[in-house]
Every structure is written in structure tokens, then in C-alpha cells.
Amino acid sequence: LVGLFVTMGVRKVRLTGGEPTIRSDFGRIVEDLGQVSASVEGGLNLGITTNGVRLGKFLPQMREAGLTNINLSLDTLVPAKFPLLARRSQDWHHRVVNVLHDVAMQDEFTLKVNCVL
């Protein structure tokens, strides 16, 4: 589908959801996007909006594919509020903050954080 859009002039692709990284074929989708991007002069501007919980395991694959624009949604800065807002355990907040830190330390990625105050 992205290949078709590219023929129409699309150069910016964002993966959103729900949560894109929970798809069982997410890795293949990233690889396919990388291949399409490599076939386009100047490449594509590839990005993802994610809650960050599963992001860490995909970072090397995303970097290789050129999917380097990350919009990370964080429900709260306060770990104790995370279970109430996200309906997930407080441990997930720590996982998201850790991956946020990992991404921020890597020059290849552009990171944007959306956070409820």
C-alpha cells in the first residue's frame, strides 16, 4: 500500500494505532517500509506514535529501516498515577521512561513526547 502512495508523491509515513508494536507482524512491516524507503530517491520520512512499552525491542530494526521519528505518548509523569490513567501496572511507567531515555541518548532518533499533565 505504501508503494502505491509513493507513486502518488507521498513521502511521509506514520504508524499509529491503537498501539502499532503489538501487531505480530510489526517487525515485517518495519522491514517492508525500509525497503520501500530505500527505493525512493531521498528516502521516506518514517515515524511512529507509540506508548513505548514494547518499543525497545524494535529500536535496532527501526533504525536500520530509517523509521527514526518517534512520538511517545506518556499518560503521566507521576508513576503512582500511571495505573489509574493507563490501566497498566506502575512497572509499565518505568519501562516507558527507560525506553524514552534510551531513545533520547541515540542521535539517530528524533523524539517527541506527548504527556498528560
CA gap 90, 80 in Å, rounded: 6
- Predicted confidence band at 116 (pLDDT cuts at 50, 70, 90)? confident
Q: Running DSSP on this structure, what letter comes out for residue 18?
A: S
pLDDT tens string 12-54: 999 998 899 999 999 999 999 999 999 999 999 999 999 999 9
What grid cell was written down for 51?
506508548
- Predicted confidence band at 117 (pLDDT cuts at 50, 70, 90)? confident
In three-state secondary structure terms, 87 is coil
Range of the domain at 62: 2-115
- Residue 75: the pLDDT is 82
Contact, 35 vs 78, CB < 8 A?
no
The pTM for the full model equals 0.88
pLDDT tens string 65-107: 999 999 999 888 888 888 878 887 777 888 899 999 999 999 9
67, 63, 90: which is closest to 77 by C-alpha?
Answer: 90
The tally of domains found in the chain comes to 1
